Amino acid sequence: MATIRKRGTKWQVQIRRTGQRSLSNSFCQRRDAESWARQMEVKADRRELPDDPKLLEGYTLGQLVQRYRDTVSIRKRGGDYERILLKAFLRHPICSRRLSELSTEDFAAYRDDRLQDIKPAPLKRQLTPIHNLFEIARDEWGLPIVENPLDRLKLHAPDNRRERRLRSGEFERLIEAARSCQNPYIIPIIHLAVETGMRRGEIISMCWDHLDLGLRLNQTQNAMIVARATADRKFAASLS
């Protein structure tokens, strides 16, 4: 809020808002001081005043990632997979950087480092929640982030999707190999994946209340999966 004091022969105005840089000015007439204060109050309400960079010094990227993981990812379908990505991201040294120091150049260095081990497509998937994190921190958490540092990051991921179908005899060999696995759910998972086209993360995060066995529906991250009647029989048989 605005504070107006008389200092000597002049009237001094100070504007203080949390997260925004303090402003001050001096006037010979009180009415001029009050007029300027009202104008600055309106700008402060609209968040048009300069942000206080000191607020970003109190946070590291890792702290924001943890908050996003615990408050945003946990509410998403498929959030288990996203939290796995964030857990791996937290191990990288970039997470120790202060937000006031963080820039696109830091993420460019991170990109170049990660591309030594993985392809652009999975790296792009890993950075998607980080990009969303900065948007939420600015729009919902009130942090004075002027620009999302990932907006200008160049990452042209080629389309690595494959169109692959099981050839004759491959499914039977796959099931036979799965029988040696100690996990009893591997064979049901294979049947479900083949019959529905569900992703690995979608299958792993499934719960019984996600299924409608009467309609043979499962709600996934992007769509409703409809299983064929033959899938019901194979899935049930594999569980028995």
For the residues 10-37, what does the mean pLDDT come to?
Answer: 81
Which pair of structure tokens corresponds to residue 208?
A: 């019984």
Taking alpha carbons only, the member of 44, 10, 45, 15 closest to residue 29 is 10
Which of 224, 240, 233 has its CA nearest to residue 191? Answer: 233
Higher local confidence (pLDDT), 209 or 115: 115
Give per-residue pLDDT as tens, 143-193.
888 789 999 998 765 555 667 788 899 999 999 999 999 998 899 999 888
Structure tokens, 17: 């808002």
In terms of Cα–Cα distance, which of 162, 157, 158, 161 is closest to 127? 157
220 vs 113: CA distance, rounded Å: 33
Residue 12, beta-bridge partner list:
5, 26
Q: Are the beta carbons of 194 and 167 closer than 8 angstroms?
A: no
The pTM is what? 0.53
Is residue 209 over pLDDT 80? no
Distance CA 59, CA 99 (A): 6
Dist. CA 104–CA 130, nearest whole Å: 13
Q: Measured at the alpha carbon of residue 196, what is the angle toward residues 224 and 69, in degrees to the nearest 5? A: 60
